[in-house]
Structure 1
Amino acid sequence: MLNSEKAVNRMSRRAAMLTIAGVAGTAGLLLFGYDKNSASASGGPPPTPIVPTPTPNLTLLTYRGHTSGIVSVVWSPGSQRVASSDQNGSIQVWNASTGKLNFVCANAPAGPTRLAWSANGKYIAGANGSNVYIWNGNTGALLKHFKVQSTGVTSLAFSPGGQRIATGSYDRTVQIWQVTTGAHLLTYNGHNVAGGAPVVSLSWSPNGTQIVSSSSLLGGSGESSTSVKVWNTTTGKDVFVYDASHPSNAVAWSPSGSLIASEKYVNGSETIQLWSPKNSSGYGLIISDPLSVQKIAWAPSSQYVAFVLSSYQGVDPRSRVEILSAAGKSFMLDYTGHQPNVRDVAWSPDGSRLASGADDKTVQIWQAPT
């Protein structure tokens, strides 16, 4: 359980930006300039370049290739491309710097598809209904299609090595599959108990030996069973139970492996719980907000946590992405560039940018804090 809960000190967006800019240097310069005082009038040393500092929250690119609301966004391992899916079933891969479309995934199913991109870059996976599709990450050619759960997939993630894929579903199980053959490897039934709820989020440990998974009715009520568990990906046995009393909409394992982030609604307040996968010790980042956390994404450095705040009941103009310091000491910034509702956020593997998608049919690339 938590040792303590530290309240997040919320600053205004302007104050947060100024704080970050003060640490990082002069913010917002888009071109190289020169310090004219560094050169003598008699032709001394050349002017010293003033290196532009990225401005956190700055929108770098807006991708408008979709004709319906965005469902999922994922980055290629090299941080050069983004794959995005929409409500109509189109899965598009495009250049994250120029917005130029590279290809559309072939034979994609109709309707919303959740996406994942393998760390080796070879595969893009999509979950639609009770099916998983595997596409070539460089061409979009369909490589494999297999049926997984009869009640529909809610979440999916590649193993760190890219050879296995885990899927969570409405039937309250997590399944592990071999990517290239579709062979079933393991079923985890830790959430499949009386009073349980669908498995809505899962994340692999960086070494691939464990998974953290969570269950929730996503805004509903009635579930009473354990909602967050860490378990072994070879045996399917529980390593430990983190939370036995609260549903959790989202979980994410930090790239460093030292922390897990999970959403929790406690006493009328949304929180991001940060805790050790070894002994569950940690603390909570309190978010005093009427909206629900629906997605969590770690910075590659494991220093920041980004998350989507959105509404289950309908369009809410307050829907946005927020970033918090993983140290639990201060509010960093929020990103409100979308029209609501925001549906997904993903951090680029090089740590420089984030991609977010919303019901406004756009994917936006924006500058990460440095």
Structure 2
Amino acid sequence: MGGIRKSVFIASILLITTIFNAAMVTALDGDNDGIDDAVDDCPFAWGNSTIGYSGCPDGDGNGDPDFTNTQLSDWDDSMRALYSSDGSSRAVSWAPDSIYLAVGGGSDVILYTANGLTIATLFSFPDEYIRSLAFSPDGSLLAAGAYFNGGDNMSQIVVLQMDWPTKTATVLANLSSYHFDDVPSVTWSSNGSYLFTGSGEGELRQFAANNWTMVRNYSFAPGDTVWSIDASPDNRLIAGLAAGGELKVFWTNNGTKYMEFANHTGSHALG
């Protein structure tokens, strides 16, 4: 008889616990907006929308959630403006540490800190504005390309070796002789082994970073400036966007074309 009473007692406890837990489950309100999670369309974000999507954020209190309303933003002034008085600024690149950035001000490569302090002029081209900048993945090198120097009848692109302790740079390689027009785009492979350049004569070139020889070039229509280039994260492909509306992607191991799309208009940027 005692065993029966004990069994009934245990069963009663289990039943009460089950009912209690069920009540707790149906009354949970994880975001504390007063709406039960069981009927809250946004259980992880506090909200008071009621017309649709109950419990979702409703900033203006009109009953509709914010994501169904038109969003208007009034952007304030930029956090900080960096000025260079030596002409147009047409290129910028962050160092991998996110503390420094290089900016092309006129014909000068200028190093800034992220909070707006001008550190140094790293390099100056003899003439014409800087058009492209790119730090290598490890931040030890900085590639800089510029517009064609008509006075000297030469292209302008150099690779700078950064000396971070002194915040200076020296020319490690001058690749100008490989180019015959402006150099408006530069990018690195993700491992830093190769530098790619896009030029105004319609050529995309690949250079080996261990000896600065040209590994290969990838051709677009003659005279179509290669405005923008980007290497795939696995370094197997290089994409280029040229002035004639050409998007081309090539295999980097052999230079063959992977794909082409020629119906772009106003082609200037890749990402």
Listed one character per residue, the Cα deviations across residues 97-134 of structure 1 (whole Å, up to 9, x for unaligned) are xxxx2x343x6335431211111112111102210110
Rounded Cα–Cα distance in structure 2 between residues aligned with 1:60 and 1:163: 42
Rounded Cα–Cα distance in structure 1 between residues aligned with 2:205 and 2:233: 18
The answer to whether the 8 Å contact 2:137/2:192 transfers is yes
Matched, 1:186 2:173: yes
**5+ unaligned residues in a row in structure 1: which ranges?**
1-39, 66-91, 93-100, 217-222, 298-370
Percent of aligned positions with the same letter in both sequences? 20
Q: How far apart are 1:44 and its partner, in Å? A: 3.4
Q: 2:236 aligns with which of 232, 241, 258?
A: 258
Q: Which residue of structure 1 lines up, in the alignment, with residue 266 of structure 2?
A: 292
Q: Which residue of structure 2 lines up, in the alignment, with residue 44 of structure 1?
A: 25
Q: TM-score, normalised by structure 2?
A: 0.64
Matched, 1:135 2:112: yes
Matched, 1:278 2:253: yes
Q: TM-score, normalised by structure 1?
A: 0.48
Which protein has the larger Cα radius of gyration, Structure 1 or Structure 2?
A: 2
Matched, 1:148 2:124: yes
- Compared with structure 1, are the counterparts of its residues 177 and 288 closer, same or farther at alpha carbon in structure 2 (3 Å cutoff)? same
How many residue pairs get aligned? The number is: 202
Q: 1:158 aligns with which of 135, 143, 148?
A: 135
**Residue pairs, 1:338-353, within 5 angstroms:** none
Q: Aligned partner of 1:211: which letter? A: L
**5+ unaligned residues in a row in structure 2: which ranges?**
1-20, 29-36, 46-66, 149-154
Q: How far apart are 1:190 and its partner, in Å? A: 5.0
Q: How far apart are 1:245 and its partner, in Å? A: 4.6
Q: Which residue of structure 2 lines up, in the alignment, with residue 72 of structure 1?
A: none
- Compared with structure 1, are the counterparts of its residues 127 and 60 closer, same or farther at alpha carbon in structure 2 (3 Å cutoff)? farther
Listed one character per residue, the Cα deviations across residues 268-321 of structure 1 (whole Å, up to 9, x for unaligned) are xx23212222122343352534x3211211xxxxxxxxxxxxxxxxxxxxxxxx
**Residue pairs, 1:1-370, within 5 angstroms:** 44-45=25-26, 46=28, 47=37, 63-65=75-77, 101=79, 103-105=80-82, 108-109=84-85, 111-113=87-89, 114-137=91-114, 139-152=115-128, 153-171=130-148, 172-179=155-162, 180-189=167-176, 191-192=178-179, 196-216=180-200, 223=201, 227-243=203-219, 245-246=221-222, 247=224, 248-264=226-242, 270-286=245-261, 288-289=263-264, 291-297=265-271
Rounded Cα–Cα distance in structure 2 between residues aligned with 1:135 and 1:188: 25
Listed one character per residue, the Cα deviations across residues 199-245 of structure 1 (whole Å, up to 9, x for unaligned) are 111101111121111112xxxxxx4xx61110123422011111165
Rounded Cα–Cα distance in structure 1 between residues aligned with 2:71 and 2:260: 26
Q: Aligned partner of 1:181: which letter? A: T
Q: How far apart are 1:149 and its partner, in Å? A: 1.4
Q: Which residue of structure 2 lines up, in the alignment, with residue 352 of structure 1?
A: none
Q: SS in structure 2 opposite 1:44?
A: helix
Q: Aligned partner of 1:108: which letter? A: S
> Which of the two has greater helix per residue?
2
